[in-house]
Chain A
Amino acid sequence: MKKVDSERCTRNRGGCEHNGGPLFIVHSSMSTEVRTLIVGYGNPLRSDDGFGWHAGRMLAQALAGQDAEVMTCHQLTPELAESLSQCGRAVFIDADVEGEPGAIHRRSIVPEVPPSSAFTHTCNPSGLLASAQHLYGHHPVSMAITVSAQSFEFGDTLSPAVSAALPEVVDQVCQWVRLKEPNSSRVESTSPRGNPSFVDV
């Protein structure tokens, strides 16, 4: 993974820790050489909503030496459009409110102008891609990987079902990053017991 600018949380009372490890906030200072941007997003204090964060941390280690940058954030914001315009591929990782807990869903994302209420303080992936295209003339080939959540209660750990999905998600993202010609038009769903079932859309 290309060396990225990252900053630790500046809280200075024994370090800012999240689940025992430092919290990496990766700034998007991407050069045009960086090909894949991985965005893990959600609230790490709302149990499974933090899935994107946990996945992002594992991917930062798994993709060391690869041409990819990992970013974690609470929510998708409009200024991410610039970072997206500078990469060739992008992966969005988040928790899903629907489905059997632990089920993994993967789908391609295309630019789509959102309703006017949906591009203000927060955004969705397809709206960001549309902004990247309109503003900067380029959008990356993109996919979203989500995992069906079990709990959005207050808490800083993942539920067992969702935690069990982390290795598979990390593996799928790593494989996709390493593809020479990324094309994720198929939607794949993996049951919590690891028996994949594929649904073409």
Chain B
Amino acid sequence: MANDAANLDKTVKIEYLTRVEGEGGIYVRAEGGELRDVKLNIFEPPRFFEAFLRGRHFQEVPDIVARICGICPVAYQMSSVHALEAALGVRPGPEIRMLRRLLYCGEWIESHALHIYLLNAPDYLGYESAVTLAADHPKEVERGLRLKKIGNDLLDLLGGRATHPVSVCVGGFYKAPRRKELEKLREDLRWALEAAQETVSFVAGLTFPEFAPDYEFVSVAHPAEYPMNERRIISSSGLNIDPAEFEHVFLEEHVAHSTALHSVRADRGSSYMVGPLARLNLNFDKLLPCAQAAARSCGIAWPCHNPFMGIVARAIELVHACEEALALIDAYQEPASSRVEFRVQGGEGCAATEAPRGLLYHRYRINDQGLVEAAKIVPPTSQNMRRIEDDLKQFLPGFLAQPEAEIARVSENLVRCYDPCISCSTHFLKLRLDRA
């Protein structure tokens, strides 16, 4: 992995990142004690979703884009249906809106629980994996697995199944749950709320490296609720735009060492962060009471700029998701129809929703027959790619005197803080062929 001929010249290669979703590696080169190069190598094969969506009927889109990801399929379905409904001029009613938030709560619970306990916590406790962590901390890992299962149970009920849900459609759902079916989940969700609060205490007690870059945080924002499916896009630098302006403000770029695109601010070329830390920092006042109480009592001053404390932000959002799921179930009234009727017409629409890992943007253009003519999908992980590299460039100079194994360890830890979903980020690749 390393050469060590001179202590000040080091090359660290992590061929295969562990405890992340998908395939990627890290390359770090130092010369004379100075950092010369850092690359987050993404070699997961590109998957061309935006290309093969063309010509498909719009009602196939939610099922197809769900396949972009096995752990955040709901996010892709939510961004797609909201974008397509914008194109078609469809406005589902309040019951559908609430069911969609409830579905998203399920995904946040299972995804955040998985990341906290199985992917990220082992880093701070000195374990190789969740299995070795479980040998010494069985209660904590068991809590995490049970939380994940409860999130999946909610997805099962509302979505038809946890992996690639099948009940989401443009206009609503193919089937809405009965109230008594949702009520059966109350007991588990009450346990989950307490377990989520214990999770905040657990992660807030971990020891984190000192690191606080000057980020531009970006997220969806809603005037009255913690963001999930609506409405505008804001940033800590004062941005406040409609999703229709997204592609004017943010630019996706190819880089040679990555099959995932990198996103930057179009005007400045600068990186930005999306995800739980960004969401929490920008929307703290919209957290529900238990979540806000957990955030205030965890010992962290918000807004927080330390990416390693993203695990605490996730735990706080876990509390929020459990709390909101219970509130939505209490308020649920079975809709007269699980989906609205509408006339198919050509149009173009876009939307941004908040996947567990951050803002997910979709845009579609459909014709009068309802066939997709163009699609654009910008996942949160590809938006964070440049920011991750910038973090590594800022963080690693303090570790260059350390052995290569330690440099590798802290590099992987930093990448894992973002909970990257590499398969999502490689959904598309533009091909430019230069013929000599």
Contact = CB atoms under 8 A, between A and B. Distances in A.
Interface stretch (A101-109, A113-121, A179-187, A193-201): A113-121
Given A11-B160, A12-B338, A135 B145 contact: yes
Contact of A119 (B118, B148, B159, B161): B118
B149 A79 contact: yes
B132 A113 contact: yes
Interface stretch (A70-78, A88-96, A141-149, A165-173): A70-78
B146 interface: yes
Interface string A1-24: 000000101111100100000000
Nearest to B111: A121
A121 B71 contact: yes
B376 interface: no
B145 A82 contact: yes
B15 to A, nearest CB: 11
Contacts of A74: 70, 163-164
Contacts of A77: 148
Interface string B129-164: 111101100100110011011001100110111011
B16 A117 contact: yes
A8 to B, nearest CB: 9
Interface in A38-92: 73-75, 77-79, 81-82
Contact of B167 (A11, A81, A82, A131): A11
B154 to A, nearest CB: 13
12 contacts: A12-B175, A73-B163, A79-B145, A120-B18, A120-B20, A120-B118, A120-B119, A134-B135, A134-B138, A134-B141, A135-B134, A135-B145
Contacts of A82: 142, 145-146, 149
A130 B134 CA distance: 10
Nearest to A118: B129
B174 interface: yes
B163 A131 contact: no
A152 to B, nearest CB: 15
B70 A75 contact: yes
B129 A115 contact: yes
Contacts of A73: 163
A68 B247 CA distance: 54
Interface string B13-44: 00011111100000000000000000000000
B132 A135 contact: no
B141 A135 contact: yes
A46 B179 CA distance: 36
Contacts of A178: none
B253 interface: no
B114 interface: yes
Contacts of A10: 157, 159-160, 166-167, 174-175, 177
Given A81-B145, A116-B128, A127-B131, A11 B21 contact: no
Nearest to B147: A79
Contacts of B175: 10-12
Q: Which 7 A-B pairs have the closest CB atoms?
A: A117-B18, A116-B129, A10-B160, A12-B175, A134-B134, A12-B174, A79-B149
Contacts of A81: 145
A16 B18 contact: no
B338 A116 contact: no
A75 B164 CA distance: 12
A7 B148 CA distance: 19
Interface of B: 16-21, 70-71, 114, 118-119, 122, 128-132, 134-135, 138, 141-142, 145-146, 148-149, 152-153, 156-157, 159-161, 163-164, 166-167, 174-175, 177, 338
Contacts of B20: 120
A9 B132 contact: no
A127 B160 CA distance: 28
A133 to B, nearest CB: 9
Contacts of B17: 117
B174 A13 contact: yes
A134 B148 CA distance: 18
A27 B146 contact: no
A114 B132 CA distance: 9
Given A13-B174, A117-B19, A135-B145, 14 more contacts: A10-B166, A10-B174, A10-B177, A12-B175, A79-B152, A82-B142, A82-B149, A116-B128, A117-B18, A120-B19, A120-B114, A120-B119, A121-B71, A130-B131
A25 B153 CA distance: 11
Nearest to B161: A25
Nearest to B132: A113
A7 B134 contact: no
A117 B19 CA distance: 5
A190 to B, nearest CB: 31
B267 to A, nearest CB: 36
Nearest to B152: A79
Contacts of B131: 113-114, 119, 127, 130-131, 134
A50 B162 CA distance: 17
A151 B21 CA distance: 26
A27 B167 contact: no
A177 B48 CA distance: 45
Contacts of A136: 138, 142
B128 to A, nearest CB: 5
B148 A79 contact: yes
A115 B19 CA distance: 10
Contacts of B122: 116
B65 to A, nearest CB: 15
Contacts of A120: 18-21, 114, 118-119, 130
